[in-house]
Structure 1
Amino acid sequence: MSLSIRPATPDDRNTLAGLAYDTGYFGDSASRYFPDRELFAAFWTDPYLRGGLGNLIALRQPDSRSGEASMQPVGFIVGSANPARYRRGLLRAAPLLLSRLGRPDTRRSLRYLLRAARYPGPHASDSLYPAHLHLNVRRDARGLGAGTALLRAHLNLLREAGVPGVQLSTTTENVAALGLYRKLGFRVADERETPLWQPWLGRPARHVVMTRSLLED
């Protein structure tokens, strides 16, 4: 079984959106808290495909004798090194949200958005760590090295672009991801207990922001 990493382009939008949705709830489907798939893509995929930096997709070929058509997407990493541009990308999702408010799946998804606004997580300095990233790997593809390969390649692209540092947001629910980030040099900058996920987890979670300087390598 071979694994390859390539740049993610706007043509990969639906693939990235599907992977993001299928892994968006601590490795499982985001449908539990965000049933509107299209709106989820507008918030978690589209802002990175409009001026993001270091967007990559991982594919595996289960059978080395198979052709290129057999390559299966198993994970991706997306990021932005321009906080203002990223926020503008988020705002572009507002018209879609308003146009879909009559839909039951959108109204149920709105519960998460309102809670996220009410309970924001910790955030590191944008001047020291202007880039941020999201990494998602399908559960059935973990252990293949896709997460490590994606993160290493992404960090290299940020260095080449002269980005001084990168941050990411996660929770202590993502035990495997925390281990990967620490292995590649990320450190916890701040953490706090948050009730954001309580309606779905049944308990508060611990929100973590991790940082990685790219000037020290």
Structure 2
Amino acid sequence: MLVRLPELPDREAALAALEEIFFLSTLRKTFASAEERAAFFRTWTGWYVERAPDDLWFALDGDGAIIGYLTGCKDSAGAVDLAHVIPKYELFADRFAAFPAHLHVNVRPGFRDRGVGRRLVDRFAEDCRADGLPGLHLVTGVFARNVAFYQRAGFTAAIQRGPLLFLGRHLR
């Protein structure tokens, strides 16, 4: 089942699950302090939780446990404050008109390769299409393991700039 953050009965538990899945999924595992760890988490999730909670989707298993999440923004160009938070956010700003929405998705280990991430991405894409958006995108590493996943999910417009790869999915 897929549910938006505002629809969940226990927001704090949902955000705790998001944080757990985030740190299980990120390549960075060590931090100099608890404050540095918290700042890293806020960099990649804070804006979405605070400013776009309706575009924060959770995947739940049959028992209601959170097994994945998607954070999204439907107006990348309009979210100018994200350029001050997320490193290299503006690197692909010239692509925002064709692919205005962006997303981040993570799935709990043990539930990967079961279609959970794809369902989250497709649900967000449906929302974006219903809002009349022409496309959505994400940025990942050129050699990241997730590139093949996103290509299978329809992200076929690719541009590489340095070690980063922009992947866009047309919605029309």
The residue type paired with residue 51 of structure 1 is R
Residue 76 of structure 1, CA deviation: 0.7
Residues 181 and 23 of structure 1: is their aligned pair in 2 closer, same or farther, counting only changes over 3 Å? same
Distance 1:56 1:193 in 2: 30
Residues 147 and 131 of structure 1: is their aligned pair in 2 closer, same or farther, counting only changes over 3 Å? same
Larger relative CO (CA 8 A, sep 6+): 1 or 2? Answer: 1
Root-mean-square deviation (CA, aligned residues, Å) is 2.8
* Aligned match of 1:59: 60
Residue 39 of structure 1, CA deviation: 1.0
Q: Which residues of structure 2 form unaligned runs of 5+?
A: none
* Aligned match of 1:186: 155
Residue 193 of structure 1, CA deviation: 3.8
Residue 16 of structure 1, CA deviation: 1.7
Distance 1:74 1:157 in 2: 21
Distance 2:152 2:77 in 1: 29
Q: Which residues of structure 1 form unaligned runs of 5+?
A: 62-69, 94-112, 195-206
Match of 1:139, SS? coil
Match of 1:40, SS? helix
The residue type paired with residue 8 of structure 1 is L
Residue 170 of structure 1, CA deviation: 0.8
- Equivalent pairs, count: 164
* Aligned match of 1:137: 107
**Which of 16, 19, 34 is the equivalent residue of 1:17?**
19
Residues 151 and 173 of structure 1: is their aligned pair in 2 closer, same or farther, counting only changes over 3 Å? same
Q: Is the Cα–Cα contact under 8 Å of residues 47 and 86 in structure 1 kept in the other structure? A: no
Distance 2:95 2:81 in 1: 19
* Aligned match of 2:29: 31
1:166 aligns with 2:168: no
Residue 85 of structure 1, CA deviation: 5.2
Residue 71 of structure 1, CA deviation: 2.8
Q: Is the Cα–Cα contact under 8 Å of residues 99 and 170 in structure 2 kept in the other structure? A: yes
* Aligned match of 2:165: 208
Residue 122 of structure 1, CA deviation: 4.7
The residue type paired with residue 153 of structure 1 is R
Distance 1:44 1:34 in 2: 18
Q: Is the Cα–Cα contact under 8 Å of residues 56 and 72 in structure 2 kept in the other structure? A: yes
1:78 aligns with 2:94: no
**Which of 149, 152, 158 is the equivalent residue of 2:122?**
152
Q: Which has the larger radius of gyration?
A: 1
Match of 2:159, SS? strand
Residue 141 of structure 1, CA deviation: 1.3
* Aligned match of 1:7: 4
Q: Which has the larger displacement, 15-24 or 125-134?
A: 15-24
Match of 1:75, SS? strand
Percent of aligned positions that are identical? 22
* Aligned match of 1:203: none
Residue 155 of structure 1, CA deviation: 0.6
The residue type paired with residue 147 of structure 1 is G
Residue 24 of structure 1, CA deviation: 1.5
Distance 2:128 2:92 in 1: 22
Q: Which has the larger displacement, 129-138 or 41-50?
A: 41-50
The residue type paired with residue 125 of structure 1 is R
